[in-house]
Chain A
Amino acid sequence: MTSSAIAVSGLRKAYGDKVVLDGIDFDVAAGSVFSMLGPNGAGKTTTVNVLTTLLTADAGTVHVAGHDVATATKDVRAAIGVTGQFAAVDDLLTGRENLQLMADLKRLRSGDQTVTRLLERFDLVESADKMASTYSGGMRRKLDLAMTLVGNPQIIFLDEPTTGLDPRSRRTMWGIVRELVADGTTIFLTTQYLEEADQLADRIAVLNQGRLVAQGTADELKRQLPGTHVRLRFADPFELGEAARVFTDSTADEEELTLRVPSDGQSRSLRALLDRLDEHTLNAQEFSVHTPDLDDVFLALTENTGKDTSKDKEAIAR
Chain B
Amino acid sequence: MSTVSTAFEDSAIMLRRNVKHTLRNPTTVFNAVLFPIVIMLMFVKVFGGAFSVGEHYIDYATPGLLVMAVSYGLGATATAVNDDMTKGIINRFKTMDVSRGAMLTGHVVVTTVRCLVACAAIIGVAFAMGFDPAASALDWLGVLGLFVLLAVGASWLTVAMGLAAKTAESAGLATVPLIMLPFLSSAFVPADTMGAGVKQFAEYQPFTPIIETLRGLLAGHPSGGDAIAALAWCLGFAVLGYVWALSTFKKRA
Listed in ascending order, the chain A residues whose CB lies under 8 Å from chain B are 52-54, 74, 77-78, 80, 82, 84, 86-93, 97, 101-102, 104-107, 131, 147
29 contacts between A and B (CB under 8 A): A53-B94, A54-B95, A77-B97, A78-B97, A82-B91, A82-B95, A84-B88, A84-B92, A86-B88, A88-B90, A88-B91, A88-B92, A89-B89, A90-B17, A90-B89, A91-B87, A92-B20, A92-B21, A92-B25, A93-B21, A101-B13, A101-B17, A105-B10, A105-B93, A105-B96, A106-B96, A106-B97, A107-B9, A147-B92
Residue pair A131, B96 in contact (C-beta under 8 Å): no
Residue pair B21, A105 in contact (C-beta under 8 Å): no
Residue pair B95, A105 in contact (C-beta under 8 Å): no
Residue pair B88, A77 in contact (C-beta under 8 Å): no
Return A52 CB to nearest CB of chain B, in Å.
5
CA distance A82 to B20 in the complex (A): 25
Which among A90, A93, A105, A106 has the greatest number of chain B C-beta atoms within 10 A? A105
Tell me if B189 counts as interface (CB < 8 A to partner A). no
Listed in ascending order, the chain B residues whose CB lies under 8 Å from chain A are 9-10, 13, 16-17, 20-21, 24-25, 87-98
Neighbouring A residues of B13 by C-beta, 8 Å:
101, 104-105
If A84-B88, A105-B13 touch, whether A93 touches B20 (CB-CB below 8 Å) is: yes
Return B32 CB to nearest CB of chain A, in Å.
16
Residue pair A88, B10 in contact (C-beta under 8 Å): no
CA distance A78 to B98 in the complex (A): 9
Residue pair A77, B96 in contact (C-beta under 8 Å): yes
Residue pair A88, B89 in contact (C-beta under 8 Å): yes
Neighbouring A residues of B91 by C-beta, 8 Å:
54, 82, 84, 88
Tell me the nearest residue of chain A to B3, going by C-beta: A74
CB within 8 A of B92: which of A78, A82, A97, A107? A82
CA distance A287 to B24 in the complex (A): 63
Neighbouring A residues of B21 by C-beta, 8 Å:
92-93
Tell me the nearest residue of chain A to B93, going by C-beta: A105
Residue pair B88, A88 in contact (C-beta under 8 Å): yes
If A92-B20, A92-B25, A131-B24 touch, whether A54 touches B89 (CB-CB below 8 Å) is: no
CA distance A86 to B10 in the complex (A): 24
Tell me the nearest residue of chain A to B253, going by C-beta: A54
If A92-B25, A93-B20, A105-B13 touch, whether A87 touches B94 (CB-CB below 8 Å) is: no
Return A36 CB to nearest CB of chain B, in Å.
17
Tell me the nearest residue of chain B to A77, going by C-beta: B97
